[in-house]
Amino acid sequence: MWNKKGYQLKDLTPIALLFVVSIIALAIGTQVLETIADGQCPSGSNWNGTTNACSNGTEQWPYNQTIASNITGYGITGMTELASWYPTLALVIAAALIISILVISFAMGRS
């Protein structure tokens, strides 16, 4: 990646690809967790996507929770929280790339 001239544009492709693949993996992982969550609730209750817990329609969490449904609920909550940070992460990466391009161009212009 690094040569005497610094980073090149082709070096950004793996970084961008990794970022896009991680977003897709996070989205698919969350959908898989939400799909299996309903099967982990005890009979007479269904998965409530709003509260990320089992619900029988009248009572909310902790109504008749199982360990598996608790773990799944925390997993969905964690993945949703991580996904909410992706725009900030993308902005920081873009800013770092722009700053590095400016610094390298100024350094190359002076030598």
Residue partners of 82: CB distance under 8 A and separation at least 6: 26
pTM flag (> 0.75): no
Answer whether 79's CB lies under 8 Å from 31's CB: no
Q: How confident is the prediction along the chain (111 residues), in pLDDT tens digits per residue?
A: 555 566 666 777 888 888 899 999 999 998 898 888 878 877 777 777 777 777 777 665 555 677 888 888 888 889 989 999 999 998 998 888 888 878 877 877 665
Report the run of H or E that residue 53 belongs to, with start and end: strand 53-55
